[in-house]
Amino acid sequence: MRITRVIMAMVVLSAGVLAGAAREASPFVVVNGSIQPSTGTPEPPSGTHATLWHNASYATTTVRGAGRLVIGAIGEHCDGWPTIRVSTTGGPIGEVTITSGTDYGGYALGPQLAEGRYDIRIELVNDRYTSECDRNAHLAYARMQPLSPVDTTFGFAVVPDTQEEVLSATDTRLRQRVDWLVAQRSVLDLRFVAHVGDVVNYDTPDHVQYERARTALRPLEAAGVPYTLAVGNHDTQAAGPEGELRSPAGQLLRDTTVFNRYFTAGRFGAVRGQFEAGKVDNGYATYTAGGLRWLVLTLELWPRRAAVAWAQRVVAAHPQHNVLIVTHHYLESDATIGQGPGYGSTSPQYLFDNLVRRYPNIRFVFSGHTGTAASRVDTGEHGNRIHSFLQTFHSRRTNPVRLVEVDTAADSLRTWIYAPHTDENFPAYGRSYPDLGLIR
């Protein structure tokens, strides 16, 4: 098979373009590959595609304009699809796996590029050849895709401990907060909702508090607003009737069977990975807003070292995402970072030392558990500023929610706390921060 293609390559490359009806010349120059008649759709103007058939194959072309680079390609499957690596004179742009054998669908790579002329190199990086199959990539075009104007301002919401709001069937505060967020979705440009844990106060044989919480959160699912819930100590079997601590507390803290029965990754809507299969105790979700990429990392309370190590891998694997961490206990009421592990495995200080401060793309930490509300700013190892916010309240009369507005163009954040049940603001906890240093 490959001998035939080498002969074809010699003929085609010596001629420059295929014989036949007048067409545009191929936009590619190929090394250790060939220009062949196109077989996918829609047909390229040249009627050809550039074939890369082993890891020494590459194609070059020139692209002009501004926007994101888009490669049109099809592939041949051989124990997996072909992956191409794209670079320009300024360095790597990115890699993408071609997942169709018939459609020259556009694969967008890398960040937005400024107006200019770019010399592009495209390589096959995962060649495979057996007696049964041959993994190849066929390139139809490379072009710049202008980006639509980006709305650089958007919002997300952080819900504090709601354990006081599910004790009675007549308490509508949790549902009313959720309904308000959905109703204000356009006004706030609401992209995500996070909950810092203690969704319920304690479990009962009929799991009625979980039923009430799940019902109250359903409007988010119906509206397509992605959300996540951190697991608080009251959301585990460590909390007994009336919320008192059971024994052995450390072991029962990790029993989240009921919580995971009522709240699943599928319900949350944007979860991309979990530390433990079928459990939302540690997971991450991604979304795009303000023209940037975001990752919400939800961690268990006083996390196990293995969970922190998993979180390290997640953050390291998403260097172009701005990371928000949500965990039940991190800040104390005086805005200091918690020092004790409670009846868990590690302390908030351990989390700061081993995760929060170590990665340049970690931007925010949100927590509850203790106190009312507070905030602080730390500097990570790479000089990045990390903004941390406490919101707990444990209110018995209203339903506060932290609202966050990010302006990616101004690189700024504004946050305030509002309670829709009583139409009440909490100006003492409002903050504005410039120079976030967002990853772009």
Read off the CATH number of the domain in which 189 is found.
3.60.21.10
Q: At 112, which CATH number?
A: 2.60.120.260
In a domain, 221, yes or no: yes
Contact indicator for 179, 218 with CB cutoff of 8 Å:
no
Contact indicator for 349, 327 with CB cutoff of 8 Å:
no
Q: What is the pLDDT of residue 22?
A: 55
**61 and 175 share a domain?**
no
**260 and 335 share a domain?**
yes
Contact indicator for 420, 401 with CB cutoff of 8 Å:
yes
Residue 353, Ramachandran bin (φ over 0: left; ψ between -120 and 50: alpha; else beta): alpha
In a domain, 440, yes or no: no
The total number of structural domains that make up the chain: 2
**272 and 313 share a domain?**
yes
**215 and 80 share a domain?**
no
In a domain, 179, yes or no: yes
- The whole-model pTM stands at 0.70
DSSP state of 255: -
Q: What is the 3-state secondary structure (H, E, C) of 218-248?
A: HHHHHHCCCEEECCCHHHCCCECHHHCECCC
**229 and 352 share a domain?**
yes
The tens place of each residue's pLDDT in the chain, 440 residues long, gives 454 444 344 334 433 444 444 578 999 999 999 999 999 999 999 999 999 999 999 999 999 998 899 999 999 999 999 999 999 987 899 999 998 999 998 899 988 888 899 999 999 999 999 999 999 999 999 999 987 777 899 999 999 999 999 999 999 999 999 999 999 999 999 999 999 999 999 999 999 999 999 999 999 999 999 999 999 999 999 999 888 999 999 999 999 999 999 999 999 999 999 999 999 999 999 999 998 999 999 999 999 999 999 999 999 999 999 999 999 999 999 999 999 999 999 999 999 999 999 999 999 999 999 999 999 999 999 999 999 999 999 999 999 999 999 999 999 999 999 999 999 999 999 999 999 999 99
In a domain, 195, yes or no: yes
The residue from 145, 178, 202 where one domain ends is: 145
In a domain, 107, yes or no: yes
Q: Is 10 helix (H, G, I), strand (E, B) or coil?
A: helix
User: What is the β-pairing status of strands 227-229 and 190-195?
Assistant: parallel
Task: Give the residue numbers spanning the domain of 111.
Answer: 2-145
Integer angstrom CA distances of residue 370 from 393, 394, 436: 8, 9, 26
The residue from 113, 145, 177 where one domain ends is: 145
In a domain, 129, yes or no: yes
**300 and 417 share a domain?**
yes
**209 and 113 share a domain?**
no
**108 and 185 share a domain?**
no
Q: What is the DSSP string of 328-382?
A: SS-B-TTSPBP---TTSSS-HHHHIIIIITT-TTEEEEEE-SSSSEEEEEEE-TT
Q: What is the pLDDT of residue 14?
A: 35
**203 and 256 share a domain?**
yes
The residue from 145, 165, 186 where one domain ends is: 145
**17 and 76 share a domain?**
yes
**401 and 272 share a domain?**
yes
**235 and 378 share a domain?**
yes
Contact indicator for 346, 304 with CB cutoff of 8 Å:
yes
As a whole number of angstroms, the distance between CA 400 and CA 230 comes to 17
As a whole number of angstroms, the distance between CA 329 and CA 343 comes to 12
Q: What is the pLDDT of residue 422?
A: 98
Amino acid at 434: P
As a whole number of angstroms, the distance between CA 74 and CA 286 comes to 27
As a whole number of angstroms, the distance between CA 194 and CA 178 comes to 12
Tokens of 236: 């585990």
In a domain, 438, yes or no: no
